[in-house]
Amino acid sequence: MSPWLPLFQAALVLAGGLSALLASYTWQNRERIGALPLCATMVGGLVWIGALLVATVTRGSPVALAANRFVVPGSNLVVAGFFVFVLEYTNREEWVRRRYLLALSVVPVAATVVAFTNPLHGLFFDVGGLDVARPTGFLIEPAPGFVANTIYNYALLAAGTVMLLGFAVDAAATYRYQTGAILVATGVPWIGHVLRTAGLVPAGVTPIAFAVTGGALVWAVFRAQLLDLVPVGRHRVIDDLSAGVFTVDNQGRLVDINPMGRRFFRLDPDERVVGKHVEEVLADYPTVRNYYVAVADLGEEVQFEAGLDGRYYEIEAFPLNDARDRHVGQTIIVRDVTDRIEREQELERQNERLERFASVVSHDLRNPLSVISGRAEVAREADDVDPHLDAIVESADRMGEIIDDVLALTRGDDDLTREPVAVDDLAREAWDHIDSGDAALSVTTDETIRADRSQLLQAFENLFRNSIEHGPTGNRPEPTDADRCGSDLTVQVGAFTDGEATGIFVADTGDGIPTDDHERVLEDGFSTSGDGTGLGLSVVTDIAAGHGWDVRVTDSESGGARIELVTDEQPADPVRPTSAE
């Protein structure tokens, strides 16, 4: 053994230097998860290595025997630190509590006490005498206390190794590299210890095993980013989230995915997807894959909303950097925000309906208010006021009907009361409700259609008013309804059949609507006149939509406007041939 003793001691010094380096580094970074138990492991290794080094330097002396006892607390601290590190690393931090740590320390403390009091009872070591072939210079055989302590340590090592192996199976490449290095660092010295105890190898393998351990841990910490990228608290922080969480490394490989993320993409809980490229995992979801590519190309923190298969998702992407600010991956969080978006959309619709209610009511009430005002002025000078009072009452009733109808319309009420309605009679009734001045009405159809009578009446009123407001004199400064219509303005109501399309129309002999504005006049707030509200035809469009009809704007044969309500219904009675407009 003597020729090899310097090499034995040199190997111990190398292993001790690596352990000291790691102990210093982990202590300086002790706020990181796993750093403190790893530091304890390195300190235990230093004590173990230091005890062996002193024992070899003073071999054959009482000092060597005393130093050898320090192997016990050192080796126990190595095992306990390793076990606690594994608990934290594999997300079992709920076991890292004071009471569990105290229970874990019972056997190591007892073993240390028994080892240091061994000269009194010999329960831990059996010192047989001098042996120049041994590193310590003594023949030291294990006693029952040593065997019990060794079994306990092997049990902890086995449990930690099983946890690491189980974690490595589903871990990404980065974590597998880290786990492999930890297993090498832990396994090599203990395999050497087992072989030495069994007498299968010489005692000189111990420092070599320690050197391998130090090298493996240095690689794990500084190359595999053992303390920089640790899957911390995953089952408590990520698995229970209602959002899908995906972690991707800088090669585009899926590092981690939580259960909600699997449900998003209908992945079987047991399917092995960790380690696959994200684009492979999303092969059946091209839209989502395109979203991922867009986010990955940006390489920065982004947040946006996207629709997919009728649902809405909020997507957040965060770049992951290690302690040295190197980009190591990306975390993508996907939340299903369909309920929130639908609530917001419903709120917007309600606000739009409220605004529309105020606008439409103020617009449509002008017709009956105009009639009431006009009749009241005439009634002041008339001898017989009854006809005027009847018209005023009728207009007031009509105002009430308009308010009820517009309330139903702005609520999006689809529960219409459909009944057979004679177009001729309803058109003439609507004409009587407006201030038509000298304009003339011509009804050229006796068709009966199924519609909500009150709403179709309101549609006719708006169509007639639109014709009068945009009649031949519609560009005069502040004209009245009566001024707007000359004696040559005629408004016609008829039926049409255009291929497979059927319906009714209102046409006039006025100035018409510019071709470029045919679609725009149906929008809220758009008007071709300076004093128009732009709501009349929009109301007609909503009434038609409520019935499932379409609205078309075109030109009449005289060059005026023609508004068609495409009902696509077969007439209840034969349609009388219409005259030329």
Q: Which string of DSSP letters, residue by residue, matches 522-552?
A: GSTT--SSTT--S-HHHHHHHHHHHHT-EEE
- Count the Cβ atoms, other than its own, within 10 Å of residue 400: 10
Greatest CA span in the chain, whole angstroms? 145
According to DSSP, the residues that pair with 308 across neighbouring strands are 311
pLDDT one-digit tens code per residue, 340-366: 888 888 888 778 767 766 766 666 677
Query: Which CATH entry fits the domain spanning 342-413: 1.20.1070, 1.10.287, 1.10.12, 1.20.1640?
Result: 1.10.287
Query: Using a CB cutoff of 8 Å and minimum separation of 24, what contacts does 323-327 make?
Result: 323/29, 323/225, 323/227, 323/228, 324/228, 327/250, 327/299
Query: Which CATH topology does 238-336 take?
Result: Beta-Lactamase (3.30.450)
pLDDT in tens, the chain (581 residues): 456 678 778 888 888 888 899 899 989 988 877 889 989 989 998 998 899 889 888 988 899 889 989 999 999 998 999 899 888 887 777 788 889 999 999 999 999 999 999 999 989 988 877 877 777 778 888 899 999 998 998 899 889 888 888 877 665 555 667 778 888 887 787 787 777 766 666 655 665 776 777 788 788 777 766 766 555 444 544 555 678 888 888 788 887 888 888 887 778 877 778 778 888 888 877 877 787 777 776 667 888 888 777 788 888 888 887 655 667 788 888 888 888 888 888 888 778 767 766 766 666 677 788 888 888 888 888 888 888 888 888 888 777 766 765 665 565 545 678 899 999 999 999 999 887 888 999 999 999 999 999 889 989 998 998 888 776 654 333 444 444 444 579 999 999 998 878 999 999 998 888 887 777 777 654 555 544 445 568 778 888 888 889 999 988 888 899 999 998 765 444 434 333 34
Domains 238-336 and 342-413 share a fold: no
The helix or strand, by DSSP H or E, that contains position 561, with its residue range, turns out to be: strand 561-566
Radius of gyration of the chain (CA): 45
- CA-to-CA dists, residue 37 to 12, 185, 545, angstroms: 22, 15, 71
Tokens of 63: 């000092």
CA dist., res. 109 & res. 224, Å (int): 34
In the block, residue with structure tokens 């917007």: 348
End-to-end CA distance of the chain: 123
- CA-to-CA dists, residue 133 to 1, 2, 57, 504, angstroms: 5, 8, 14, 116
Q: What is the DSSP letter of 277?
A: B
Q: Compute φ and ψ for 267, nearest 5 degrees.
A: -90, 135
Three-state secondary-structure class, residue 235 = helix
How do the domains of the chain map onto residue ranges?
A: 2-222, 238-336, 342-413, 414-581
pLDDT one-digit tens code per residue, 3-59: 667 877 888 888 888 889 989 998 998 887 788 998 998 999 899 889 988 988 898
In the block, residue with structure tokens 């492991």: 41
CA dist., res. 45 & res. 277, Å (int): 40
Three-state secondary-structure class, residue 261 = helix
CATH superfamily of 414-581: Histidine kinase-like ATPase, C-terminal domain (3.30.565.10)
Q: Give the architecture (CATH level 2) of 2-222.
A: Up-down Bundle (1.20)
CA dist., res. 208 & res. 192, Å (int): 9
